[in-house]
Amino acid sequence: MNRPLQKCFALLCHEAGLPPPGFEFRIEALKPRRWRYDIAWPDHYVLVEVEGGVWPSLQASGKKVRGRHVQPQGFLDDMEKYNAAQLVGYQVLRYTPTQILLMDTIREIHTLLERKKPCPTCRS
């Protein structure tokens, strides 16, 4: 997820009254894996992944190119990453770069954050 998209998303979250999101989040419980999750609210155990490369694009050579997420190995790697997060208690939402800036998406995230409020006595 690129910086301009992060800034726009953070502003939308602020305007919608959501807690500030973290970016490029690593889950300590998954070490030694070094996966980074695009957007996170660790206290709520909520992650958001932005799936780029869904639509094919043309290179200067005229060749159609798809992103890593929709290539067979990339797809399998993402499944492993998302399942690992789920197994340690996180919920993962997935959106395209266009969807991440929609108010419907912000409402969905808000709904999930409300359902997964942090437990004040569960902090380590």
The pairing of strands 37-41 and 22-25 is antiparallel
- At 63 the pLDDT is 64
What are 66-91's pLDDT values in tens digits?
Answer: 556 566 788 889 999 999 999 999 99
Whole-angstrom distance, CA of residue 106 vs CA of residue 77 = 26
The amino acid sitting at 47 is: L
Q: Where are the domains of the chain?
A: 3-115
pTM of the complete model: 0.82
Could you give the CA distance from residue 57 to residue 55 in angstroms, rounded to a whole number? 6
Assigned CATH for 3-115: 3.40.960.10
Rg (CA), the chain: 16
Q: For the segment 87-115, what is each residue's pLDDT rounded down to a tens digit?
A: 999 999 999 999 999 999 999 999 999 99
- Residue 55 DSSP label: S
